[in-house]
Amino acid sequence: MGIIGAGPAGLLLSRLLHLQGIDSVVLENRSRDYVEARIRAGILEQHTVDTLTAAGLGDRLQREGLEHRGIYLQYPGTRHKLDFPELCGRTVWVYGQTEVTKDLIAAQLDGGPPLLFEVSDVRPEDVDGDSPRIRFTDADGVEQVLECDVIAGTDGFHGPSRAVVQGAAGRVWERTYPYAWLGILADAAPATDELIYAWHPEGFALYSMRSPSVSRLYLQVDPAEKIEDWSDDRIWENLATRFALEGWELTTGTITEKSVLPMRSFVSTPMRRGRLFLAGDAAHIVPPTGAKGLNLAVADVTLLAQALVRLLHEKQTDLVDTYSDRALARVWRCTHFSWFMTSMLHRSGDDFDAELQLSQLRRIAASEPAARELAENYTGLPLDL
Ligand code: APR
Ligand code: PHB
């Protein structure tokens, strides 16, 4: 098994296959430090926690992860709690996805399958036959060829695998949103027990966290905004305005990281060509409002691992033949939900839109079925829709 990309998708796939006795080699073009330093989101669905724990990767997650039992939806004058266990019997976990990647890399390097960093010129070849290969140059500059039974393209949005799968038969759907997120990490104790998704006339704001002493907060900004134009004071002032609620106060602190993150929806179909299979961001990107990015990648590789075990151990092709359709069913569901949350909460500048958004928010606050639909999607639907 050749796996291109050592992000959460590639590393977890390698681990799941390893536990089933299937060898793999993971090829990563960046350094370990770079991969581990990438800023990522922080919400894990229960199936993600269960999958990581079953794969022997749950120790630090269980120690440091924070189980969360709901979210707040806020709009002027109201901060409404959605109680997930009451609505759908599930919860989510707050645990930095950066930490998930670190845990996966540590496990891989501690007796797991080979993980090669800083490779270059990675090229999947002959994927339409039964003996595909990956040509690449290793970190020492030596040309290498990896002969495979199967290749996984888990190389993210900018990797080479999607273009090979796309070929002539593929199709791409894309929507770029007219706003971005300015995200900060701050040494400030979260002033809320659950995440707050706040609609405000001046723009959306999200209150998340990483630990009892570290807050993770986001502000809707124009995509053209430059982070250097946002002083710490300006950031805190905007956050205080957008989260303002009678009798509540924002906790501020030292900002340790800040960046502007673009927002888009992207789906590439199919997710397979012959013996090359896509999983994770290589096939789809969702706006972070629905907290789906990593969870969707985990769902892909869970389905893919099952399919590859059946192919390589039992010589049955039924699961690999249906992998793309089954994975895309969940991709489109999560793409819709992420679009729904993004469209409901972000100001477009159009007052008609604002009235529709406020009507939707009031409906969710007043209607248990409407709240349940959000809760079921947010906490994660069954893997195989
Ligand atoms: N050769 C080898 N590796 C490559 C190449 C290449 N040509 N191009 C990209 N890569 C590597 C990237 O450096 C990255 O480490 O592939 C990896 C892809 O990882 P991610 O971009 O993290 O994508 P994925 O593993 O699908 O993660 C999905 O996890 O944390 C969330 O928000 C994150 O949505 C993302 C999700
Ligand atoms: C985060 O904690 O980074 C986070 C949480 C929820 C989201 C997006 C990001 O919807």
Q: Which of 72, 95, 197, 218 is catalytic?
A: 197
| Pocket-testing residue among 38, 40, 43, 64, ligand 2, by greatest number of atoms within 8 A of Cβ | 43
Active site residue 68: yes
Q: Is position 166 within any domain?
A: yes
How many other CB atoms are found less than 10 A from the CB of residue 110?
A: 7
Q: Is position 120 within any domain?
A: yes
Which of 192-197's residues contact partners 24+ apart within 8 Å by CB, and which partners? 192/72, 194/68, 194/69, 194/70, 194/71, 194/72, 194/81, 195/43, 195/68, 195/71, 195/72, 195/94, 196/71, 196/72, 196/74, 196/79, 196/243, 197/71, 197/72, 197/73, 197/74, 197/289, 197/341, 197/345
Q: Is position 323 within any domain?
A: yes
Q: Is position 385 within any domain?
A: no
Q: Is position 254 within any domain?
A: no
Residue 41 has pLDDT above 90, yes or no: no
Quickly list H helices, the chain. 8-18, 32-37, 46-54, 59-64, 84-88, 97-109, 161-166, 232-243, 293-314, 318-345, 351-366, 368-379
Mean pLDDT (the chain, rounded): 96
Q: Is position 355 within any domain?
A: no
**For the chain, what percent of residues have pLDDT higher than 70?**
100
What's the pTM?
Answer: 0.96
Residues 54-74: pLDDT tens digits? Answer: 999 999 999 999 999 999 999
What's the CATH code of the domain at 36? 3.50.50.60
Number of structural domains (the chain) is: 1
pLDDT for 334? 97
Q: Which of 132, 190, 288, 323 is catalytic?
A: 288
What is the pLDDT confidence band of residue 383, given thresholds at 50, 70 and 90?
Answer: confident
pLDDT for 285? 98
Q: Which domain holds residue 28?
A: 2-45+96-174+264-347
Q: Is position 321 within any domain?
A: yes
Residues 121-150: pLDDT tens digits? Answer: 999 999 999 999 999 999 999 999 999 999
pLDDT for 385? 72
Residue 108 has pLDDT above 80, yes or no: yes
Which residue has the least CA distance to atom 6 on ligand 2? Answer: 291
| Pocket-testing residue among 45, 64, 84, 195, ligand 2, by greatest number of atoms within 8 A of Cβ | 195
The CA 5 to ligand 1 mean position distance, Å, reads 5
Residue 168 has pLDDT above 80, yes or no: no
Q: Is position 55 within any domain?
A: no
